[in-house]
Chains A and B, each alone.
Chain A
């Protein structure tokens, strides 16, 4: 028996363990949507036989309704996927072994090739409600960044602050003087988006490098945080999230 065959066999066994075998047919979209909502709201009392032991919970949103619709289309024939869809976003539940969630979400994202943001969390079946809340907050932070797949570890600081309103409140006070001046706000956003690369940030804004440096120094004077220090840049970036974390267009789960 070759190694290739071995690993295929292992794959088959895993799929048998994880795969739902008793779900409503894929055509019955409404029933499957109801099931997804029940699972995500934590009202699953263990009475559904056909469910997997663990899932990747993917919260997604797109910049247009068409793009969101194409996410659903990509999953239409997947009998394993449970989807709770909204207008420009939704939740996808995919049976998943631990540590497999990132690859699964990236694979889906790569097949779409659209401006779609995804927040992905792995959870056992009984923890799906908490995982949904985490995925939603990850997506809220990620939606201010480049389109792609995000896990909690990619947005840890922002996520923590969204969960701690008293901290968020103080950070908002720190960043307010910067937000009040559009050129400074633009400079900070560009500097963060370019991962602290000054030359790239100046190009993005179409300003001279010394103009950017001057604005960064002003930001330091106003906030006490020096943007060229990684720690201070993280604080500034988190403060921006606290100041204007957008709501994402996700459907209600209860």
Chain B
């Protein structure tokens, strides 16, 4: 496939330069996303890096001059150019990308570390997360969107928490460590944890298998899954009771707190709890039964059985 690289860059980057010239909010994120998209397109089109560098230079000059003529902010334009160029060129650092895919596929190619922690990313742009990790050390990015860190799970946990705090907002990272030859197992593990965290509606943060242990055991045991379905079926027909279970769970089983959250009278919640026990055979007043009810509701809602 032949590219008019200069034209492609001009068209794609125009909006970013415009936003930067006007100093509009969020142009930095847009720059990262655009540059990465264009970069992968050029790479998959096997465009030589030398061509890209030449095109990048002239595009930057043309766009910067045009924006300056319109009275754009010169400092912002300069940093937009740098951000776009850096992101675009990082797509051409193919060595680590190929390695990530090879390791994730179960090969332990030359240059691979002895072990890796696989990280799954949900809720944030993978590019932003990669950049945040890159500032803290080595990170490989696979085409599946998984990241590989050549560190132990404990060290990766700490890094992930820092990255989550830096990025802020709703980000879920799941981690699992394995020796290089068994990285596919780690990938499966993070995907399973992420599916559970997502279907059970757990808050944003960093998760590993220890945080979801008994839930994963529940999902893996067929007779338990069937029984959970039977327990929760009569409850699902009554949204008010479902809401009551979830509110009570969120209130750590404290009825007074749940009552305030639901805007109902104390005697109303007592009646509902009695109904729940009649329908399910589990007592929401008992914290362990309450946790099982919450898990059953979460799983049935997301239809996590697959």
Contacts and interface: CB of A to CB of B under 8 A. Distances in A.
A85 interface: no
B221 interface: yes
Given A170-B209, A230-B249, A230-B288, A151 B281 contact: yes
A152 to B, nearest CB: 5
Interface in B270-306: 280-282, 285-292, 294-295
A167 B223 contact: no
Interface stretch (A21-29, A45-53, A233-241): A233-241
Contacts of A230: 249, 252-253, 287-288, 290-291, 294
Interface string B86-108: 00000000000000000000000
B44 to A, nearest CB: 40
Interface stretch (A36-44, A88-96, A156-164): A156-164
Chain B interface mostly: helix
B224 A160 contact: yes
A237 B295 CA distance: 16
A54 interface: no
Contacts of A130: 223
A203 interface: no
B214 A234 contact: yes
B231 interface: yes
Most buried by A among B209, B217, B220, B287: B217
B210 interface: yes
A167 B213 contact: yes
A221 interface: no
Nearest to B283: A195
Contacts of A161: 213-214, 217
Contacts, number: 95
A157 B287 contact: no
Interface residues of B, number: 31
B165 to A, nearest CB: 18
A159 B249 CA distance: 22
A159 B217 CA distance: 9
Contacts of B292: 153, 156-157, 234
Contact of B213 (A151, A156, A235): A235
B221 A229 contact: no
Nearest to B208: A170
Contact of A164 (B210, B221, B287, B288): B221
A233 B253 CA distance: 11
A228 B218 CA distance: 22
Nearest to A160: B217
Nearest to B288: A234
A171 interface: yes
A143 interface: no
A153 B231 contact: yes
Most buried by B among A159, A164, A224: A164
Nearest to A173: B210
Interface in A157-187: 157, 159-161, 163-164, 167, 170-171, 174
Contacts of A154: 281-282, 289
A238 B210 CA distance: 13
Contacts of B287: 195-196, 230, 233-234
Interface string A197-233: 0000000000000000000000000001000111101
A102 B281 CA distance: 10
A163 B291 contact: no
B199 to A, nearest CB: 15
Contact of B221 (A151, A153, A163): A163
Contacts of B198: none
B197 to A, nearest CB: 13
Contacts of B223: 130, 134, 152
Interface string B230-259: 110000000000000000010011000000
Given A154-B282, A170-B209, A237 B288 contact: yes
A13 B295 CA distance: 41
B228 interface: yes
B291 A231 contact: yes
Interface in A109-153: 130, 134, 151-153
Nearest to A134: B223
A199 B188 CA distance: 44
B152 interface: no
B12 interface: no
A27 to B, nearest CB: 37
A233 B291 contact: yes
B234 to A, nearest CB: 12
12 contacts: A151-B281, A152-B224, A153-B280, A153-B282, A157-B288, A160-B220, A164-B221, A167-B217, A195-B285, A230-B291, A231-B294, A234-B214
Given A153-B281, A196-B253, 7 more contacts: A154-B281, A156-B227, A156-B231, A157-B217, A157-B291, A195-B285, A238-B213
